[in-house]
Structure 1
Amino acid sequence: MLKNRFFLMGLGFGIIAGALLLQMMVSVELKDRQFQTAALPSSLTDDELEEQAAERGLRLTKVEDKLYTQAELDIKVAETKKLNKPISVKEASTSGTPTHTVRSVYIPKGLDSATVSEILFEVGVIKDAAAFENLMTVKEANGKIQPGLKQFKGELSSQQIISIITKPQ
């Protein structure tokens, strides 16, 4: 008789403990749902939504904006560097005639003086690629070429061009 009594008491306490745990889980779940719906009201204007995002350290983008993964971005940058399309811009003076031309050239990492000389010749920064390459060798600037976007304004001497391409960004 005593055996059944302890069994029934244990069974009763187990049922009560299980019911309490179940009630606690349900109440926590309800609070989470209320918090999620209260945190983001659906009646925000665009400006209010941007402010809320900024407070949380987030940034909003438009649906039509193209987003890239890091791998896609690396591929796009590599393609752009391979094309290496120089930009030539004429700055106008007050009289309407161009005062000088600004040529921007991207120099990728790891190029030698021969390749840089060819690029600068194609863009029109220098007049003789071989002579410029020889001058770079004499000035020991071959290993000092710095990658990056370089701007050449107007007519520059060979020494000025060398200082621009060897100067870090």
Structure 2
Amino acid sequence: MIMSSSPGGSHSSGSSTAQISISGSDEQQMKSDLRQRKRKVSNRESARRSRMRKQNHLDGLLTQASQISKDNSCILANLNVIRQMCINVEGENSVLRAQMDELTHRLNSLNEIIGCLNQIDNYGNAVVDQMMMMKTMNGDDLFNPWNLMYLNQSVCAGNMVMY
């Protein structure tokens, strides 16, 4: 039998050399298995962190969507309030326009009366006739207290001035 030397300085037989080389192969296999297990653990940890990041991102998006929905509801409520205010203002504008038209009509009537009064001669007959004619033409009640602006002006009746 041939003896060979081992790295440890002892002599062993040929069958022990084969055993050492097998155990070297086992050691490499064990190192490979260890690296593979570490890689699997690392991959699992990386996948877990990735899932956590995705979940956190999803939670953030859901929170953001909820906040946007609340903001949208507030904006819609404000819009409805503003629409109602606009409708109210439009109604008030319609009333004011109608009042303006009525007051414009009254002002025109009063200006006509003043014009007629300024055109009369010294005899009072023309004033009374013109006032009665305007009353029947316009359908306005000239003797309504709101239409009596002409009372502050003098009316000539013959040679007598009346207030």
Same structural fold, with TM-score higher than 0.5 when normalized by the shorter chain: no
Between Structure 1 and Structure 2, whose CA radius of gyration is higher?
A: 2
More helix by share: 2
More strand by share: 1
| TM-score (ref. length: structure 2) | 0.29
